[in-house]
């Protein structure tokens, strides 16, 4: 399959949704740190609007992205951007269970609970259908060896009903990707990956071969910016920041890579979106991959 990447830095998600390869992740809109204080709502709305103004037409969210105080990513996306501009693609995730007072998800929804979670995302976002829904079958520390067919079949059925346009998988193995693809097409994968932690190369290679989008979560390292001398050296040569080199390096690594950095800071959204214009040299990339 021909990789659906255009010359102008876009990707054809699922073959029919053209998006910029630099998008925006909504996880940090309610709070900038896990378990931390809530962000200022007006500032988060400003960040969302500015990200779209700067070219982000792919927003990644989830109904379980909320703060116990009541701030929720889906509600803020709807408030800031609805009525949604033409061409804006919103991706969400289902699978994890999070109680209202929990700092992060603590369990998994059964297959029977996935329809209700999809409908919750539809209500919160004010959409009649969802552009992309990832099944996330496990948490960060959950082994990637359990069958996912029963849960993926539920989402495939919702796709047939027209509630979902494209299906994706998050935090999965190559075997789970193959299991899902035997049921329905998979348009995107979302696994942990950054330039300093390129541990998912097998699955990335499959995505490249078959034209599947690869949207790494934690593209900036996740729990703090990586302290990496290679990245610092490249940043110094370009007069760029370390986060910009981490993002530009991802985009240069593969034509199916879709960066979705998240932030609750207006300054950081400007910095992140500018990384799409940073052109790394062959020498830079060799150094980053050494």
- Burial track 92-108 (b if 16+ CB lie within 10 A, e otherwise): bbbbbebeeeeeebeeb
Cis (ω within 30 of 0) for the bond into 287? no
Q: pLDDT digits over 184-198, tens only?
A: 999 999 999 988 888
The mean predicted confidence, pLDDT, of the chain is 92
Task: Give catalytic status of residue 65 as yes or no.
Answer: yes
Say yes or no to pLDDT of 226 above 90. Answer: no
Residue 35 burial (C-beta neighbours within 10 Å; 0-12, 13-18, 19+): exposed
Q: Tell me, what DSSP letter sits at residue 100?
A: T
Residues 197, 188: Cα–Cα separation, whole Å: 20
With cut-offs at 50, 70 and 90, classify the pLDDT of residue 225: confident
How big, in percent rounded to 5, are the helix, strand and coil portions of the chain?
40, 20, 45
Say yes or no to pLDDT of 130 above 80. Answer: yes
Nearest of 259, 260, 214, 212 to residue 15 by alpha carbon: 212
For residue 257, give the 3-state DSSP assignment.
Answer: strand
Say yes or no to pLDDT of 2 above 60. Answer: no
Cβ partners under 8 Å of residue 284, min gap 6: 234, 237, 238, 245, 249
Cβ partners under 8 Å of residue 265, min gap 6: 32, 43, 47
Q: How far is CA 290 from the centre of its chain?
A: 26
Q: pLDDT digits over 4-56, tens only?
A: 333 468 999 999 999 999 999 999 999 988 778 999 999 999 999 999 999 99
Cβ partners under 8 Å of residue 68, min gap 6: 100, 101, 102, 103
Structure tokens at 71: 């701030």
134 bridge partner residues: 93, 168
Residues 208, 225: Cα–Cα separation, whole Å: 27
Residues 287, 290: Cα–Cα separation, whole Å: 5
Span between the terminal Cα atoms of the chain, in Å: 30
Q: pLDDT digits over 230-264, tens only?
A: 999 999 999 999 999 999 999 999 999 999 999 99
Cβ partners under 8 Å of residue 48, min gap 6: 24, 26, 29, 59, 76, 77, 80, 81
């Amino acid at each position: 399959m021909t990789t659906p990447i255009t010359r102008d830095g876009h990707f054809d998600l699922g073959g029919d949704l053209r998006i910029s390869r630099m998008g925006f992740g909504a996880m940090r809109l309610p709070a900038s740190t896990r378990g931390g204080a809530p962000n200022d709502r007006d500032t988060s709305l400003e960040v969302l609007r500015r990200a779209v103004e700067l070219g982000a037409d792919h927003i990644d969210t989830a109904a379980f992205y909320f703060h116990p105080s009541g701030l929720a990513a889906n509600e803020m996306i709807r408030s800031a951007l609805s009525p949604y501009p033409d061409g804006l693609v919103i991706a969400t995730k289902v699978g994890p269970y999070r109680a209202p007072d929990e700092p992060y998800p603590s369990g998994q929804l059964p297959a029977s609970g996935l329809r209700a979670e999809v409908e919750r995302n539809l209500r919160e976002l004010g959409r009649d259908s969802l552009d992309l829904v990832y099944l996330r079958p496990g948490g960060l520390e959950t082994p990637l060896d359990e069958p996912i067919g029963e849960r993926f079949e539920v989402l495939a059925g919702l796709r047939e009903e027209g509630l979902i346009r494209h299906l994706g998988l998050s935090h999965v193995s190559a075997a789970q990707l193959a299991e899902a693809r035997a049921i329905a097409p998979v348009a995107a994968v979302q696994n942990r990956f950054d330039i300093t932690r390129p541990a998912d190369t097998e699955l990335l290679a499959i995505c490249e071969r078959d034209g599947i989008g690869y949207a790494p979560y934690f593209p900036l390292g996740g729990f703090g910016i990586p302290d990496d001398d290679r990245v610092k050296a490249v940043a110094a040569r370009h007069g760029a920041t370390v986060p910009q080199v981490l993002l530009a390096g991802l985009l240069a690594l593969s034509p199916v890579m879709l960066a979705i950095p998240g932030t609750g800071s207006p300054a950081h959204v400007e910095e992140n979106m500018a990384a799409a214009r940073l052109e790394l040299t062959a020498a830079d990339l060799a150094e980053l991959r050494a």
